[in-house]
Structure 1
Amino acid sequence: MNNIISSLGAGSGIDTQKLVNDLVEIERQPVEQRLDKKQANLEAQISGYGALKGGLSDFQALLTPLTNPETFSARNVSFTESTAVTPTKVDANAVTGNYQVEVMQLARVQSLSTATIADPNAEVATGTLNIRFGSWDAGLSAFSPNAQKDGLQIDIDSNNNTLEGIRDAINATASGIQASIIPDGGEYRLMLSSPTGETQALEITVEEDAGATGMSLSTLEFNASTQNLLQNQAAQDAKVRINGLEVRRPTNEVSDVIPGLEFSLNRASPDEIINFSITEDKATGEQAVRDFVDGFNDFFKFASTLTGYSRDEDNQLVRGDLATDSIAKSMVTRMRDILVSAVPGVQGDQASLAMLGIQTERDGTLSIDEEVFSKALSDNFELLGSIFATEVSSSSALVEAKLGSYGGSAQPGQYDIQITTQPAKGSLMAGGLDAGLVFPLDTGTGDFSFKMRINGVESGLISLPQNQQYDSADALAIELQTLINADASIQQGRAQVDVSYNTTDNRFEFVSREYGAVSNVGITEASTAMDALGMGQQNGVAGRDVAGTINGVAGFGAGNILLPDLNSPAYGLNFSVAPGVTEATVDYSRGLSGELNRLAQDFLAKDGAVSTRETTLNKQIEGIASDRERLDDRMEKRFLQLQSQFQAMERIISSFQATGDQLDGILDRLPFTAQN
């Protein structure tokens, strides 16, 4: 009996716990191996996408110079070394040629200063400083206002009625006037320096508050009748000869004499000729194209390894991490399709890389036919820019097209612009002058005050200075424009107006500087004296928003800007329309670099294909984690099931053991078998 029990394992030391664990592990292993393999594949794809994004971003960086049209219109400049002139900038599209520059005279500021003052913090009377820009005659007896430069009104109150306060108030205007306090023999002078240029000189009149105390504001007057400031230096223009032609400029930073070339004038040097030579810089564009070809080939080989099969150093076939990923494969395929296709919007969709000698090899890489490429560089260099760079061009100088905030949505192509309503600015034609009013006009002690409304912005009370003489209606128009535009409310509301005198109708004309239906001009309040100038209370004519169609689809007009319909292919382009144009044709091309960059952006966007695919892969990995939890739960139940079965077996075997113990020696105790 003991032999029977022994054969069943009871008391033999069999580790049933280990046996159960081994059985469970055997059952778990194939499922866990499958999950491990699936997870490894998913993690490899995520890693592959990370590498693909890095390679795609590096390739995008190579597209940046190609997207810029200036890469293909760069210029070289060479010049004679001189301390008289310093070139500071050469723009793309600068007019090529040879130029001789001679500096005859530097531009200067007008410098004015007060008499010496003992204390810069001493009280100054409150009131208003009125400053106009313009030019003085040689004897400082006549001032001609600058109609292109708005004047200033500076309030002097209890917060700034010291020399230092006035200095700070003038500097805060950002008008180009520089105010400074100069120590002089233990006392001080306030010095005012105008911007450079003959027509930037200053005229200063003051309106002192009644009963004001302290040093009189009239200390700062500088006008035809009162000149309490000392002129240290007269304003003057720079004079430069370009190929023998003398031109004048108000500043020593010259940017519009040689188109595309900017230079600084450092000193006058008559009879010293500085030679400038501006030539095309084709090397920049050529190198950008060569870098593109090399960069694409590097990226394509790298991407092909990720999305396909390659050979390792032992010539063993290696599968890429994204070899089975259709999204990654499609990105590489679409990129190749762009390279072999015509560039949309260029030469009627007929231009391609092949025209430049750039061809696609059988393995998908690019190569350059040097003979064809060299010929394109020498004979048709503009084609490189057209094929690679973003271009927006208009057939009319009165219609300017630009990419707006949503420029990425605009589709390449040709757009026919039809203008049905011309843009207009709000304007007011004042009434005629009183028959008895003649110039010169002296305001005397009269009340010439009024209020304006410009583009919906109400001005404060504006007054012509008392005892001011205006030699002509044009001079008065300049003064009106200066005072209106200097009004604090008008400036805060960013509303501006141009004032002129219509000699045909003998009346003043006010024109807002803004286009559109919100543009308007009106006189809301006027004194009797202003009535005599035809400037009684009245409203003008509102402006108009431009209206028109783009490829037959009505656009939206805002001022002089025509915007395409939201759902149209042109959406993303903005068309700036000047009065007088009725139609124009606009051509838009993203260029090859723009098309490739757009493709890359679409893939790399937060909601793009790569991000979506990575999200899916991560969710699948999360699903594997859930599968592992379910496997653990199932194996735990299996463990308990097997453990229960083996425990039952142990109980049975134990019962056999007890029975065996009871039967042990029974033969010796039975009748007829017992031994004596």
Structure 2
Amino acid sequence: MASITSSGLGSGLDVNGIIKQLMELESQPLTKLQARAKEAETKISAVGSLQSALSTFQARVLGLSSVSAYKTLKGSLGDSAIGTVSTASNAQAGSYSLAVTQLAQSHKLKSQVFTGVNEPVGTGKLTIQFGTHNDNGTTANTADDTFEVNGDKGALTLDIDSSNNTLVGLRDAINAKKAGVSATIVNDGSGYRLLLSSTDSGKANSLRITVEDDDYNAGTNPGGNTDTSGLSRFVYDPAGARNMAQTQAAQNAEFQLDGIAISKASNTVTDVLQGVTLNLQKISALDSNSAPITTTLSVARDTSGVKTAVEEFVKSYNEFAKVVDGLSYFDKETKTSGLLNGDYVIRSMQSTIRSTLNQGLGAGSYYQSLGAVGVTYNDKGQMTLDASKLQKALNERPDDVASLFAVNGVASDSRVSYVSSTAATQTGNYAINITAAATRGSFSGLAITNGPITITENDNDLLMVAVDGTSSGQIKLAAGSYATPAALAAEIQSKINGDSRLKEAGAAVTVAFNASTNKFEFSSNKYGSKSNVQITAVGSTTETSLGLKVAQSGTGTNVAGTINGENAKGDGQILTGTGRTEGLKLTVTGDTPGEYGTIGFSRGFASKLDQTVTGLLGGNGLLRSRVDGLKRDITNIETQGKTMTRRLEGLEKLYRAQFTALDVQIATMNSTSSYLGQQLSMLNNLASNNRK
């Protein structure tokens, strides 16, 4: 609105003052509009504070949404120098006595001395296998020693040619395979040695190194694969030639748990107590009778993390409620109020959150309310926590406390475990019926004689397989006499699982000899319809000597069954629900059909609150909609203000024109009045003179 600059033209009329007062009256609606815009901007800021408080509350809610947090156990050792203990969610609480008599160690070998790292080492093939060295007890005689191949460890075969025919080339070729052996070169002062070490400790991980030396000649150099020249210098056979020297024998960890003698390949023990990992670091001290002194291994449920998370949840809810109160209060005495007092966004938000917190969880959850674990409200509307009640629930039913807060499934049968779910999965208790257990792809060979088997080079030593859809390269078995078919089964498994193509694809097999049927049995290590194992090529006499022939194969089957009486989808050992249980994934490890109990699936309060808060904060949520509405109000007010400003500017011009005209008329009238007064005065003076 333009400012008033002109004044009266001599009439004495206060035109500026009059127009200013008139325009102040006319501008009152515009002033009210501007006040409304400022109020809307203030409310936007207040809603922003509300959003921030709600986001902070949501972050605390997420701290309660991890299922694993409710099942944590903590392990400890009375003598911490003996080792450390860690636990998984499936561990069981208990107390045990522990005494360690021997630590596990890996097998280590050293080569002869070389003058330089680039000195040629020979060419040919070098094969490293893992197994158990059964020592006859003497160091001078190895004739009675035996070596049993570890079928669980794949063999490592290297081609040594002109590209890697040096000490450093051999080292790098071994390390590049990353197949359970590490190689390094050291200078011991007299020259350079190749050091080999099994990366896994334990008796079953002793090394056996054999070669196919290019300098071998049956006529002129019959010892070429075991002599001390060429690649043969790296031969190490615990039951034969040893051209490398042992610097450390492979051995198991030996310990007693509650008086039970236990031997394990590694100092990291994971399969003695369910869910417990024991890391052994020191041998137990001996008492006066030379007996190992025991220490206490304790496994107890660790609920401190959950308690802290629940406490933080209660605290953050009350902090959020305090922010809400500060924005919505009304004080009757002072007649003051919060910025969002009476605003529908407060009422709607409070109603939504309270509805989420107060409704029962329904089927699928043992606990139905937060009050069941000690979370309630006082008379001021603040959330409170009865810590003893929460602790009692955590001690007695940790899985059900998890279901109260998080998305969780609790199975009644140990052969079933909850994996995951989707937004489509409905809560409830559902019966599980397995009509077919998952199987692995497997087959049995032809029956053979249960006795010693001889593997002859270029005769029955070659085969090829396909596992889980991946074809192997040519697999060559070590020639020699195997005392039992079981020993040869370990050799076959080791060589198959050492194939580079299969290892890259993550495919592996288990090979065993069934003494009741006298047949070799091959099984893929995976379950389901994608699991398959097949013989694709064999040596010339393999069928007669080993019972193996081309096209022998077997394919696995997926688990099949129902959840809640509705057909579920099987993929290996994973069973995925349909209908009400759409997206519910379970692992079924049983191997027989039948009833597998029930699965209780629940969406706990943390999950529900997270979804509720996400909805409130989302792009189409309540708070965003309120902010958008306030912004639209401001835009509308600005539009109205511009229109009103233009009208006021026109009105001021009109008033100024009218009052200017009035001012002119009054000035003219004043001038006429003054003239007439002068004339009358002159006439009076003239008349007075005439009378004289």
Query: How far apart, in 1, do the equivalents of 2:215 and 2:15 lie?
Result: 113
**1:251 alignment counterpart:** 266
Please say if residues 388 and 592 of structure 1, whose CA atoms lie closer than 8 Å, have aligned partners that are also in contact: yes
Please say if residues 153 and 483 of structure 1, whose CA atoms lie closer than 8 Å, have aligned partners that are also in contact: no
Cα-to-partner distance string for 1:246-282 (whole Å, 9 max, x where unaligned): 2112112234445555443333234233234445556
Q: 1:103 to 1:616 in 2, by over 3 A?
A: same
Query: How far apart, in 1, do the equivalents of 2:341 and 2:438 lie?
Result: 58
Cα-to-partner distance string for 1:502-559 (whole Å, 9 max, x where unaligned): 3344333222222232322223333323343333321523322333332233333222
Query: How far apart, in 2, do the equivalents of 1:544 and 1:416 lie?
Result: 22
Q: 1:98 to 1:460 in 2, by over 3 A?
A: closer
Cα-to-partner distance string for 1:13-63 (whole Å, 9 max, x where unaligned): 9999999898777655524532541x3344344333332333334334444
Which of 182, 204, 208 lines up with 2:209 in the alignment? 204
**1:43 alignment counterpart:** 41
Deviation at 1:191, TM superposition (A): 0.9
Q: 1:156 to 1:199 in 2, by over 3 A?
A: same
Classify the secondary structure of the residue corresponding to 1:481: helix
**1:573 alignment counterpart:** 584
Classify the secondary structure of the residue corresponding to 2:555: coil
**1:30 alignment counterpart:** 29
Q: Read off the aligned partner of 2:181 and give its amino acid letter.
A: I
Query: How far apart, in 2, do the equivalents of 1:623 and 1:615 lie?
Result: 12
Classify the secondary structure of the residue corresponding to 2:463: strand
**1:617 alignment counterpart:** 627
Deviation at 1:491, TM superposition (A): 2.0
Q: 1:626 to 1:168 in 2, by over 3 A?
A: farther
Cα-to-partner distance string for 1:466-488 (whole Å, 9 max, x where unaligned): x3333332222222222222222
Query: How far apart, in 1, do the equivalents of 2:492 and 2:504 lie?
Result: 18
**2:563 alignment counterpart:** 550
Indicate the larger mover: 586-595 or 370-379: 370-379
Aligned Cα root-mean-square deviation (Å): 4.3
Please say if residues 99 and 276 of structure 1, whose CA atoms lie closer than 8 Å, have aligned partners that are also in contact: yes
Deviation at 1:451, TM superposition (A): 2.7
Q: 1:111 to 1:154 in 2, by over 3 A?
A: same
Q: 1:310 to 1:570 in 2, by over 3 A?
A: farther
**1:54 alignment counterpart:** 52
Please say if residues 411 and 599 of structure 2, whose CA atoms lie closer than 8 Å, have aligned partners that are also in contact: yes
Written as runs of structure 1 = structure 2, the 5 A alignment for 1:381-530 is: 387-388=404-405, 391-404=408-421, 406=422, 409-433=424-448, 439-446=452-459, 448-465=461-478, 467-530=479-542
Query: How far apart, in 2, do the equivalents of 1:392 and 1:652 lie?
Result: 90
Written as runs of structure 1 = structure 2, the 5 A alignment for 1:67-466 is: 67-68=65-66, 79-81=77-79, 83=81, 85-90=82-87, 94-139=91-136, 141-194=145-198, 195-208=200-213, 216-223=230-237, 224-259=239-274, 261-269=276-284, 270=286, 271-279=292-300, 288-306=309-327, 308-311=328-331, 315-345=333-363, 351-367=368-384, 387-388=404-405, 391-404=408-421, 406=422, 409-433=424-448, 439-446=452-459, 448-465=461-478
Query: How far apart, in 1, do the equivalents of 2:229 and 2:24 lie?
Result: 102
Query: How far apart, in 2, do the equivalents of 1:428 and 1:535 lie?
Result: 10
Query: How far apart, in 1, do the equivalents of 2:635 and 2:388 lie?
Result: 60
Q: Read off the aligned partner of 1:201 and give its amino acid letter.
A: S
Q: Read off the aligned partner of 1:49 and give its amino acid letter.
A: V
Where does the alignment leave 5 or more consecutive residues of structure 1 unmatched? 1-7
Cα-to-partner distance string for 1:632-656 (whole Å, 9 max, x where unaligned): 3663476358648866997999999
Please say if residues 20 and 643 of structure 1, whose CA atoms lie closer than 8 Å, have aligned partners that are also in contact: no
Classify the secondary structure of the residue corresponding to 2:541: helix
Indicate the larger mover: 162-171 or 615-624: 615-624
Q: Read off the aligned partner of 1:420 and give its amino acid letter.
A: T
Q: With structure 2 as the length reference, what TM-score do the two structures score?
A: 0.79
Deviation at 1:586, TM superposition (A): 0.6
Classify the secondary structure of the residue corresponding to 1:222: coil
Q: Taking every aligned residue pair, what percent have the same amino acid on both sides? A: 29
Classify the secondary structure of the residue corresponding to 1:416: strand
Query: How far apart, in 1, do the equivalents of 2:336 and 2:662 lie?
Result: 58
Q: 1:197 to 1:431 in 2, by over 3 A?
A: same
Query: How far apart, in 1, do the equivalents of 2:502 and 2:465 lie?
Result: 9
Q: 1:105 to 1:50 in 2, by over 3 A?
A: same
Q: 1:354 to 1:636 in 2, by over 3 A?
A: closer
**1:3 alignment counterpart:** none
Query: How far apart, in 1, do the equivalents of 2:594 and 2:277 lie?
Result: 36
Q: Read off the aligned partner of 1:489 and give its amino acid letter.
A: R
Q: Read off the aligned partner of 1:428 and give its amino acid letter.
A: F
Q: Read off the aligned partner of 2:33 and give its amino acid letter.
A: R
Q: 1:428 to 1:221 in 2, by over 3 A?
A: same
Query: How far apart, in 2, do the equivalents of 1:41 and 1:225 lie?
Result: 94
Deviation at 1:302, TM superposition (A): 2.9
Deviation at 1:238, TM superposition (A): 1.0
Deviation at 1:580, TM superposition (A): 1.7
Q: 1:209 to 1:92 in 2, by over 3 A?
A: same
**2:649 alignment counterpart:** 639
Indicate the larger mover: 517-526 or 334-343: 334-343
Where does the alignment leave 5 or more consecutive residues of structure 2 unmatched? 1-6, 137-141, 218-223, 287-291, 687-692
Deviation at 1:211, TM superposition (A): 10
Q: Read off the aligned partner of 1:442 and give its amino acid letter.
A: I
Classify the secondary structure of the residue corresponding to 1:302: helix
Q: 1:120 to 1:28 in 2, by over 3 A?
A: farther
Q: Read off the aligned partner of 1:149 and give its amino acid letter.
A: K
Cα-to-partner distance string for 1:47-83 (whole Å, 9 max, x where unaligned): 3333233333433444455445565555566644463
Q: 1:624 to 1:486 in 2, by over 3 A?
A: same
Deviation at 1:103, TM superposition (A): 1.5
Deviation at 1:441, TM superposition (A): 0.9
Q: 1:16 to 1:377 in 2, by over 3 A?
A: same
Deviation at 1:572, TM superposition (A): 4.1
Q: 1:54 to 1:219 in 2, by over 3 A?
A: farther
Query: How far apart, in 2, do the equivalents of 1:198 and 1:250 lie?
Result: 6
Classify the secondary structure of the residue corresponding to 1:235: coil
Q: Read off the aligned partner of 2:329 and give its amino acid letter.
A: Y
Q: 1:127 to 1:327 in 2, by over 3 A?
A: farther
Query: How far apart, in 1, do the equivalents of 2:21 and 2:482 lie?
Result: 111
Cα-to-partner distance string for 1:355-411 (whole Å, 9 max, x where unaligned): 44544334322345689778768888887556445542212232222225x4x5533
Classify the secondary structure of the residue corresponding to 2:445: strand
**1:588 alignment counterpart:** 601
Q: Read off the aligned partner of 1:570 and give its amino acid letter.
A: T
Classify the secondary structure of the residue corresponding to 2:246: strand
Query: How far apart, in 2, do the equivalents of 1:268 and 1:167 lie?
Result: 34
Which of 549, 567, 580 lines up with 1:536 in the alignment? 549
Q: Read off the aligned partner of 2:318 and give its amino acid letter.
A: N
**Aligned residues between the structures:** 647
Q: 1:247 to 1:649 in 2, by over 3 A?
A: same
